[in-house]
Structure 1
């Protein structure tokens, strides 16, 4: 399914242990301080469990519910069974009240990619797919696509770039 909401979806990619989550945490905080409501989709390669064993939603899912939700003042949690690995656009469609969505991972997805790099981690080649790389946080590789490069500590500049390039019009 495509992104029916026309929300900007940007994938934060990089090799293992390059600091993607730490970078994204700072970026989300910076955007939030500017009034931007951000959704984040973390891609996990294997099965995972959000429900706590023995809790009501866990018990109801084990009883056969294909979707369970828990809601309270100011928060909703939703767990759904899916066929295969859901696309970020399908997940973003479930997120209400957001201005943009970041994914962490999804290197093979169709969305623009911002790659986080750290010396000594990963490989000596881009993690981003050719033609999808829009910026690098870290150092560029020789002969790589001509895209903006940012220092990992310059969250303000990255946020400005993202808002200029992908902010809702």
Structure 2
């Protein structure tokens, strides 16, 4: 698990600290544009004042670190946690037990965030924003009951908010309302 934090800020009791930030999964078929959407959405969420963490799903076991680098070597030597720190960024490499307890990973890694967005986890328990392009598929991945919103290039007859790919500002405002308990 890798966690990057830009310009960390201390948050104390009574200052919005939460052990359980809301979690929303951005889901789609491969190559549909999940990462591109997140790249556009994250700056909009920051403008709205939200602190946002992102958890990227990796279905295969791999190293996130670079072989030969000090952090990699220390983890390989047996450290359970290795932290690399610079004046503007912190990277945490933590050995996990393989249980797949996503709630525990989120609680440990994203405490104090206003919102956690996951990329992937289409079978996970969290509310989902599906990203759909008509050129990639004619069907949706999610059941409407688990769908918080839909980002799409066509109109669907569904009772969920729908956003065009170019309306990241609208999607960000929708997520702010969701975080504030309005959805």
TM range (shorter): 0.7 to 0.9
Q: Give how far 1:156 is off.
A: 1.1
Q: 1:41 to 1:161 in 2, by over 3 A?
A: same
Q: 1:83 to 1:125 in 2, by over 3 A?
A: farther
Q: Give how far 1:135 is off.
A: 0.8
- Structure 2 portions without partners, runs of 5+: 1-17
Aligned equivalent of 1:157: 170
Corresponding position: 1:114 with 2:124? no
Corresponding position: 1:72 with 2:86? yes
Picking from 1, 11, 17, the partner of 2:31 is 17
Q: Give how far 1:146 is off.
A: 1.3
Of residues 64-73 and 87-96 in structure 1, the stretch that sits farther from structure 2 once superposed is 87-96
Could you say what secondary structure the match of 2:140 adopts? coil
State whether residues 41 and 88 of structure 1, in contact with CA within 8 Å, keep that contact through their aligned partners in structure 2.
Answer: no
Task: Describe the superposition over 1:16-56 as per-residue Cα deviations: whole angstroms up to 9, x where unpaired.
Answer: 11111101111111011222111000101112222221111
State whether residues 99 and 168 of structure 1, in contact with CA within 8 Å, keep that contact through their aligned partners in structure 2.
Answer: no
Number of equivalences = 163
Aligned equivalent of 1:7: 21
CA RMSD of the aligned region, Å?
2.1
**What is the TM-score normalised by the length of structure 2?**
0.80
Name the CA distance, whole Å, in 2 between partners of 1:19 and 1:99: 24
Task: Describe the superposition over 1:97-148 as per-residue Cα deviations: whole angstroms up to 9, x where unpaired.
Answer: 4211100000111110000111211x33222245210111003556xx4111
State whether residues 113 and 132 of structure 1, in contact with CA within 8 Å, keep that contact through their aligned partners in structure 2.
Answer: yes
**What is the TM-score normalised by the length of structure 1?**
0.86
Name the CA distance, whole Å, in 2 between partners of 1:92 and 1:134: 20
- Structure 1 portions without partners, runs of 5+: none
